[in-house]
Structures are given as C-alpha cells and as structure tokens.
Amino acid sequence: MQVLQAKERAQIPLCGCLPAYANAWDSLSLPFNLRNGLDFSWVDSPPHCRGIPAAYFNSIQELQAMDNIILEELRNNVIIKVHPWEVKFYSPIFLFPKSTGGFRKILNCPELNFSLNAPHFKMEDARTWRDLIFPGAFMVTIDLKHAYLHVPVSEEASKWFGFEWRNQTYKQKTLCFGLSTAPYSFTMLMRRVLASLRPHFTIMAYLDDVGIIAHSLIDAEDAVLQTLKHSFLLSLTVEFNKTKLQPSQKAEYLGYLWDSEALTMELIPKLIIKGRILVRERLKYARRSVQVKAFTLVKLIGVLQSMVLCNPQTLVKLRNLNNDKDLISN
C-alpha cells in the first residue's frame, strides 16, 4: 500500500488528490464541496489593506529549509507563482520547527484571521483517548502527512492567501498552518471519514493524528487494514515513517505514553525537557522586561496543552498565555 501511495502521489499533485476522488468523498456528505474548494465567510468585511509581503528567518539553515519547502509545495501544486495584482492580501511567512525534526511553513495572518468567521467547535484530544481506553486494549497510531495541504480552497479564497519569497509572489491553493479556520475545516472532514469506520471499531483523531483501539490483536490488525484501505480510497496520505502499525498494549500518542495493561499514562520525556527550555526562555524575557515573541508563546502553549491531563491547573496558565499571545499578535 505504501508503494501504491507513492505512485499515486507521483501522478496526482497533493492539492488535487481529494478533488480527484470527489465521487468517493460525496458518499460521506461533507459540509463543503471539494471540487470547487473551500470558501470562507467574513465576520463583517475582508481586510481593507494589502497586508505585509515579508518572510522571517533566523539562520541560513532556515533560509535553505524555506527554499526546499517552497519547491516541494510548487511540485505538489499547493502554491503557485502569480503576479502581484492577482493577490488581494499578503501575509508574512516564517518557519516553525517540527517535533520530529525539520520545519513547517506558517502563514502569519492575524489580520486575516480577525476578519474571518471561525466557528467554535470541540476537538477530540488526549482526554478523549483516556476515556476510550479499557484494560488490555490493543492500540495503533496512524499519522497523516501534509494534512491541511490535502484540502483545496476556492479560487476566490486563494487570492487572500498571498505571500512573497525571494521577490516572487505566490498564493496558497490549500488550507495552511496559521489560518484560524483550518483546524475546524480539517476536523469536520476527518469526522466524516471516521464516522464510516466507527461502526466496526473504536477510532479517533486529533487533526492528523489517528488512534485505533481494539479488544484483541486480530481485531486491531483488521482495523488497521480497514483504516489504511479507507484512507487510500479517499486519497489521504499516510506518513508511514511516523505510523505505528503493529498493535500493542503500550503506545505513544498525543504526547503521552499509554499502557492499557497497567492503565497508566505518563508524559513523553522529551516533551518535559522541551517545556522546561521554553519556560526558561519565557522567564528570560520577563527578567529583562522585554516583550516575549509571539512565536515563543505559541510553542510554549502547544507544550502546555499536552500537559493538561497531568496538571489541570495548566488550563489557567494557558488562558493567560493565550491572552498575551493575542495582544502581541494584534
């Protein structure tokens, strides 16, 4: 299946893979049309300015990484080169380090997000997984690759997702990191995908992180095959390097190590180390009476969100940090 997926990606660009399988998606009754791409609604009116055509990087390594990401996204038809007059709004871009290494391109668009109507919704998370686990459960985790980049946006919407790199204007043709409506849109899509599998076994997803729970080894293996087949038929790309297809009663998922035999959970050690580093960085800014970077707060918030199960008081700290981030971003 991994070989078939690689062959398909060579023939169909990432941006076009879901529309190419639109007939299969139609059976899931999505709340939006994949053929035409997602549209967005404005709270009042779109931004009246043109935005900022800027790119931020902190090292030669990041500059080279951005070059590689731009080339990859061009190959996948995720972005396209356009004339400046084809873009209605520019957002700065920067890189965010992945937990597994490498970088992710972020569209920094708080002005755009302020004007967009972003629905409130509830996401499944580690608390959902905790409530689903039972003694002796067999667990499997599946990671989807380039999750947001699968979902196309409409031609009109893409005009608002402009950015500039090396004096060339581009526009984004898909959902992207940094867009406030992206988690909602992708979660709604995944809910329809999982709804067709849930009558057969227990499955959940936090964005692109999919988790499966089964009563026996055989049931778990069967669930894995069904999920992979379903993903392939819908043209969702599985990240096999990060996916753990062998069912086990011990699994690493959503920042925790889970043991269904002992019914225990604990934070992943590297997450604790990362949290300490980010807290020290936050305190360093505070001691110098220097405004902390929004980028630093975003990383710290992400780590603390993963610790909520171990320390419920983290929610209070998160509320304060989110307020600080919003003030800095705006």
- Classify residue 97: in a domain, yes or no: yes
Domain residues for the domain of 222 are 138-145+186-267
Residues 239 and 303 in one domain: no
Name which of 284, 15, 329 is nearest 152 in CA terms: 15
Residues 25 and 115 in one domain: yes
- Classify residue 84: in a domain, yes or no: yes
Residues 115 and 202 in one domain: no
- Classify residue 104: in a domain, yes or no: yes
| 207-255 pLDDT, tens digit each | 999 999 999 999 999 999 999 999 999 999 999 999 999 999 999 999 8
CATH code: domain of residue 190: 3.30.70.270
H runs (alpha helix) in 21-83: 22-26, 60-75
Give residue 294's pLDDT band: very low, low, confident or very high (50, 70, 90): low
- Classify residue 49: in a domain, yes or no: yes
pLDDT at 182 over 70: yes
Q: How many domains does the chain have?
A: 3
Residues 260 and 286 in one domain: no
User: Last residue of some domain: 267, 283, 305?
Assistant: 267
Residues 192 and 303 in one domain: no
For position 317, what pLDDT does the model report? 65
- Classify residue 288: in a domain, yes or no: yes
Per the CB < 8 A criterion, the answer to whether 25 and 18 are in contact is yes
Per the CB < 8 A criterion, the answer to whether 14 and 147 are in contact is no
- Classify residue 61: in a domain, yes or no: yes
Cβ neighbour number for residue 308 with a 10 Å cutoff: 16
Residues 85 and 115 in one domain: yes
- SS3 category, 115: helix
Residues 16 and 31 in one domain: yes
Average pLDDT over residues 180-197: 94
- Classify residue 47: in a domain, yes or no: yes
Residues 56 and 163 in one domain: yes
Residues 167 and 21 in one domain: yes
For position 69, what pLDDT does the model report? 97
Q: Residue 85 is encoded by which pair of tokens? A: 């007059």
> What rounded mean pLDDT belongs to the chain?
88
Give residue 320's pLDDT band: very low, low, confident or very high (50, 70, 90): low
CATH code: domain of residue 170: 3.10.10.10
Residues 173 and 54 in one domain: yes
For position 193, what pLDDT does the model report? 95
Average pLDDT over residues 301-306: 74
Range from 76-85, 184-193, 316-325 carrying the lowest mean pLDDT: 316-325
The share of the chain scoring above pLDDT 90, in percent, equals 61
Report d(CA 45, CA 59) in Å as an integer: 37
- Classify residue 128: in a domain, yes or no: no
What b/e sequence results for 69-86 when a residue is b if at least 16 CB atoms lie within 10 Å of its CB, and e otherwise?
Answer: bbeebeebbbbeeeeeee
| 135-170 pLDDT, tens digit each | 999 999 999 999 999 999 999 999 999 999 999 999
pLDDT at 259 over 60: yes
